[in-house]
Structure 1
Amino acid sequence: MTARVVLHLPGYMLARLEAGNPLLYARIRDCIVARGGVVDLIEGFDGKRYRPDGNLHIVENGSGQRLGVLNAATAYLEGFFHVDPQGIQAASRIGGLRYDPTEVDGAAAAAYLAALQQRFAVPRRSRYKQARAVSDLPQGAIAVFLQGPAPQRNGQAYFGFEEMVEAVCAGAGGRPVLVKPHPLKPELGAEIIASVRAQGYAPIATDANVHDILAACVATVSVNSATAMEGFLHGKPAVLFGRSDFHAFVETVRQPGDFSAALARAFADPPDYARALTWYFGQHCLDIHADSFDVRVLAIFAEAGFDAARLGLR
C-alpha cells in the first residue's frame, strides 16, 4: 500500500496553510505533491488514540516516540526546524548524538557563522517581537533570559526560575545581572524579578532587544532558551539550568551553588561557535530557506522508514 503524508496541525495553522503559511508545512506539502504523493491535513493529534496505520504522520509541536510519527517544531532560530522521531527542542535526538568539532570543516563553518550573523544578528532579528530602539545597557553583565512555564511543565528545568536568578545574582562575581522576561510572558517575568529583589538581590529588568543584550553581556543564562544559541552568534558562552539538546556546547548547572564554577568553565573553555552552529543547524536541522530543503526532508522521511517508493513518489 502506498503511504500518505499526514500533517497534524492546530486549527489556526490549517487555516493559514492555503496561503503558504506556516512555511514548513507548505514546503513539505508542495515537496510531496509535486512528486506525485498524497498529503492529508488533520486538525490536532490525539497521541492516546493513535495507532500506526502505514502512513507517515507529522505532528506540530509533537512529543514522544511513536511508530510512523515525526515531531516537528521550530529549532530555536527562526526558519530552522526539527522534524524528529524522538521529540523537539530539548527532547530532540540531536542531544544524543556525538559532537566532535574536529569533524566540522573550519573554513565552511566560518562562512556558515557569517551567514547566520547576517541573517539574525546584524538585523537584530529574533523569533519573538523585539524592541526596535537600540538600548544602552551595562557592559560586562550576565544576561538571564526567562522562559514561559514549558521547561518546568516538561520536566526540563532543574530549578524554578526564581532559584535560577538568585543563584546567578549570588555567583555573578560583582557583575551586573540583566534579566529579560519572555516576550510572551512579561507578567510572569515581573513576578520572578520582584521575588528575587525581595530576597535582597538587585537584578536589572530589561525588555531590550535580545541582540542588544547579547552584544553587551559576557555570558547568557537560561534553562534552555534559544537565546543561548543566539548568544553564540555574538561569541558569548552559555550556562544552562536545565536539560537541552545542545548540551555539548554549554555548561549545565544541576545544583544552584555550582553556578560560579560553571561560569568560570564557560569563560575558560568556550566552544568553537562556528563549528557548533554548523554542526547543529547546518547538519541536523531543516533550514526552510535552503536549496537543499526537499532533499533533506525526503532523507528524514526515508530514515523514518518512508522512502520515495513507499510514499509513491516519482
Structure 2
Amino acid sequence: MGALRKTVTLEVPEAWFMNPEDGDRHRLFYSALLSALAGMRVLIDPVWLPRGAERAARPTASGNLVISFHSYGEAGNILRCKESYVPPFYTMDRMGYSCFSELARFPERFRDQIGAGDDRAAASFVSRLGHELRQGNRSKYPQPPAEARHIAGGYVFVPLQLRNDSVAQGLWLDSRAALKTIVDAASARGLTTVIKRHPRCRSRRIDAVLQELRQRPEVVLSDRSIYDLIPDAELVVGANSGVLFEALLQDRPVISFAASDFGMAVQQVRSHVELAAAIARPDPPSLSWRHKFLFWYLCSYCVRADDSFQIGQRIRSFNPDPKPDGSTVTRVGLRLNWYLLAIMDRIRRRFF
C-alpha cells in the first residue's frame, strides 16, 4: 500500500463479538484482519458498528479505504466483509454479500476464473469438506443431533429462511406462494415435500401457510438436522438460504427462486411456471461445474478467518473504484443514522 502510512477505516462490529453462537468466529476473523493490517504500514481508524446498521449507506467517494462489516451498496473505496455460509470462511466483496455482492450482480466477471479450476482438486475438496460437515453435524446454526432413521420414499427438501432477513430483497417469488407451487409440483412427481422452518422464524404468516400445508399427506414438517434431510433429497429447493449452499456441498441438485452469490451453481427460476417446470424436470449445472464453483468460492473468493496472510493479500489486491456520491454526511451524522437503523432493526425483529 505504498511507503507512506495511509489510514484504513475499520468498522468494528462489537455487538457481533458478544454473540454466544458465533462471536468467537468474528473475533478470530478480526484478530487475523488486525494482524494483516499491522504488516501493511497503515493507521487504523476504528468505527464501532451497532447491530442492524448494515442497511445504512456508506459513502463511496474517494478517501480512506473502508473495511466494512455486513454492509452492502455500490462499489467504491469499500471492502465489505461478512461471514460466509460455512465457518471459518468470510467473504470480502466490493459490493456486499449474497444477492447484493458483485459476484451475484455480475457473475460473468468471474466465470473464466471458476472454469479454470482443476476438476480433480475441486471434487476432492468438496468431498472432503462435505464429509467433515456431515460427520460433525456442523452448520451456521446449531443443529439437533443427527438420527439414523431415514425418511421413506423420495422427497424434495425445502429449507425456509427469515422473512425479515436483508437478503429477502433478492427474492423473485413470494416465499409463501412458492411453497404451494413446490408442493404441487413435487406431488405431481409422486414426491413428498419436507419443509424445515428457520430456527429463528416467528412469523405468523409462515405459521398460517404451514398449518394449511401440513393438512396434506404429502407434506412433512421437520425440525431434524439438515444432515438428516439433505443427503437423501431428490432436490433441495429454496430462495437464497445458506442451507442451499450446504446442500451443494453434499452434491444435491438445487433449485433457487432468488438471487445469490452462488447462483451460478444452482438452477435459478424467476416465475412459478419455471419453478414447477424445474421440479418436474430438473436441469441444474453439471456436478463438475458445481464442484469447480464451490472450490473457487471457498478457496479464492472467500478468505479463512484464521489466515492473516490470505486476508492481507485480499486487501492489497483490492482496487478501489471511488465514485463521487455527493454525500456530505459527517461522521457524527453517519453514526446517528447507524444507531437509528439499529433500533429499527430490533423493533422489526421483535414484532415481525
TM-score interval, normalised by the smaller of the two chains: 0.7 to 0.9
What displacement does 1:22 show? Answer: 2.5
Q: Distance in 1 between matches of 2:8 and 2:153?
A: 50
SS at match of 1:245: coil
Q: Distance in 1 between matches of 2:143 and 2:221?
A: 15
Counting aligned pairs with the same residue, the percent is 20
Q: 1:102 to 1:147 in 2, by over 3 A?
A: same
Q: 1:260 to 1:51 in 2, by over 3 A?
A: closer
Report the equivalent of 1:76.
Answer: 85
Report the equivalent of 2:343.
Answer: none
Would you say the 8 A contact 2:99–2:167 is kept in 1? no
Once the two structures are superposed, the pairs formed by residues 40-51 of structure 1 within 5 Å of their partners are 40-44=45-49, 47-48=56-57, 50=59
Residue 146 (structure 1) aligned with residue 156 (structure 2): no
Residue 114 (structure 1) aligned with residue 127 (structure 2): yes
What displacement does 1:19 show? Answer: 8.0
Q: Distance in 1 between matches of 2:97 and 2:158?
A: 23
Whichever residue aligns with residue 12 of structure 2, its letter is: L
Deviations 1:206-257 (A, max 9, x none): 1111111111211111101111121122211000111122222211221113
Residue 9 (structure 1) aligned with residue 15 (structure 2): no
Report the equivalent of 1:37.
Answer: 42
Q: Distance in 2 between matches of 1:130 and 1:187?
A: 21
Q: Distance in 2 between matches of 1:215 and 1:24?
A: 30
Q: Distance in 2 between matches of 1:139 and 1:267?
A: 22
Report the equivalent of 1:134.
Answer: 147
Q: Distance in 2 between matches of 1:299 and 1:264?
A: 47
Would you say the 8 A contact 1:138–1:216 is kept in 2? no
Structure 2: give runs of 5+ residues left out of the alignment.
323-352
What displacement does 1:85 show? Answer: 1.0
What displacement does 1:148 show? Answer: 0.5
Report the equivalent of 1:125.
Answer: 138
Once the two structures are superposed, the pairs formed by residues 51-66 of structure 1 within 5 Å of their partners are 52=61, 54-66=63-75
Q: Distance in 2 between matches of 1:249 and 1:20?
A: 26
Q: Distance in 2 between matches of 1:165 and 1:256?
A: 10
Q: Distance in 2 between matches of 1:79 and 1:305?
A: 28
Report the equivalent of 1:311.
Answer: none
Residue 253 (structure 1) aligned with residue 269 (structure 2): yes
What displacement does 1:91 show? Answer: 1.6
Q: Distance in 2 between matches of 1:94 and 1:142?
A: 28
SS at match of 1:169: helix
Would you say the 8 A contact 2:256–2:268 is kept in 1? yes
Q: Which of 32, 51, 61 lines up with 1:27 in the alignment?
A: 32
Residue 229 (structure 1) aligned with residue 232 (structure 2): no
What displacement does 1:114 show? Answer: 2.8
CA RMSD of aligned residues (A): 3.0
Q: 1:11 to 1:269 in 2, by over 3 A?
A: closer
Residue 279 (structure 1) aligned with residue 296 (structure 2): yes
Once the two structures are superposed, the pairs formed by residues 91-106 of structure 1 within 5 Å of their partners are 91-95=100-104, 96-98=106-108, 99=111, 102-106=115-119
Q: 1:40 to 1:254 in 2, by over 3 A?
A: same
Of residues 237-246 and 36-45 in structure 1, the stretch that sits farther from structure 2 once superposed is 36-45
Q: Distance in 1 between matches of 2:308 and 2:167?
A: 37
Would you say the 8 A contact 1:76–1:89 is kept in 2? no
Report the equivalent of 2:195.
Answer: 179
Q: 1:228 to 1:15 in 2, by over 3 A?
A: closer
Structure 1: give runs of 5+ residues left out of the alignment.
307-314
Aligned residues, how many?
303
Higher relative contact order (CA 8 A, sep 6+): 2
Q: Which of 283, 286, 298 lines up with 2:315 in the alignment?
A: 298
TM normalised by structure 1 equals 0.84
Q: Distance in 2 between matches of 1:70 and 1:191?
A: 41
Instruction: Write out the 4+ residue segments of structure 1 that deviate beyond 6 Å after TM superposition.
Output: none
Q: 1:87 to 1:230 in 2, by over 3 A?
A: same
Would you say the 8 A contact 1:139–1:217 is kept in 2? no
Q: Distance in 2 between matches of 1:262 and 1:118?
A: 28
Whichever residue aligns with residue 43 of structure 1, its letter is: W
TM normalised by structure 2 equals 0.75
Report the equivalent of 2:332.
Answer: none
Q: Distance in 2 between matches of 1:249 and 1:92?
A: 15
Q: Distance in 2 between matches of 1:48 and 1:169?
A: 39
Q: 1:167 to 1:66 in 2, by over 3 A?
A: same
SS at match of 2:68: strand
What displacement does 1:97 show? Answer: 3.0
What displacement does 1:171 show? Answer: 0.3
